[in-house]
Amino acid sequence: MANGLFIFLNHFTAEYPFASHFLVFLSTFFQGEIGAFFGLTLLVNKNIGWSGFFIAVASGIFMADLLPYFVGRFTRDKKLGQFLERHLPYREHIEHHLSNNLIYFFILVKFLIGLNFAVMFLSGWSKIKFRKFLKTIILAFSFWFIFISIFGYFLISSLAYLKAVKIFKQMEIGLVAIIVLVFLIEFYLRKIIFKKEEKLEKKAKLLGEKIEHLPH
């Protein structure tokens, strides 16, 4: 089934070049890694060029960053904004990091599933200046794009080579397995990071309580 789907997409994108760029843009908008790996697969198969790949991925990423930022900025005092704020995961952790180290956290969430919307929304919610926000997402995207492009290109090229020499029969299964593996790594990395953060906060709270009870 996976093999048939990839064959269909390969022929479809070869016949309709604009569609290939739009699909890369759309998949990147919803989940950056999927869009990047899909675009790199098309790139390895020579269905798109580097410039088209870059434009499609960059457009998807920036749209995914800017949209929640403006939603947060313009709905801060509205019911929708208050509802979203209450239901965002790890809201307090995110706000803490945003106030202390914006660029570090923006780079981090590019590699963590499901946190990008929350971070960008709270950036707008916190009234971070647009110029600072734009500069930071450009830097974060640059770091993410270089890493994903180099890592993904050589990985997918290797799978294509193994398939060509008949060592590995189905490149598509390998690609799906890689995407699933990336998701699992990101998921567990997120859990580890926030568990450490919670432990540090508990230690800081206990230390603060001890200091308060010290004789003055």
Mean model confidence pLDDT for the chain = 76
pLDDT digits (tens, 9 = 90+) for 151-189: 888 887 777 655 544 544 555 555 566 666 666 666 666
pLDDT confidence of residue 2: 45
pLDDT digits (tens, 9 = 90+) for 16-72: 778 888 989 998 998 888 888 888 888 887 888 899 999 999 999 999 999 999 988
Residues spanned by the domain of 60: 2-213
pLDDT confidence of residue 109: 83
Q: What is the DSSP string of the chain?
A: -HHHHHHHHHHHHHH-HHHHHHHHHHHHHH-HHHHHHHHHHHHHTTSS-HHHHHHHHHHHHHHHHHHHHHHHHHSTTSHHHHHHHHHSTTHHHHHHHHHH-HHHHHHHHTTSTT-HHHHHHHHHHTT--HHHHHHHHHHHHHHHHHHHHHHHHHHHHHHHHHHHTTSSS-HHHHHHHHHHHHHHHHHHHHHHHHHHHHHHHHHHHHHHHHHHHS--
Pick from 121-130, 152-161, 198-207: least confident: 198-207
Number of folded domains that form the chain: 1
Question: Is the model's pTM score more than 0.85?
Answer: no
pLDDT confidence bin for 1, thresholds 50/70/90: very low
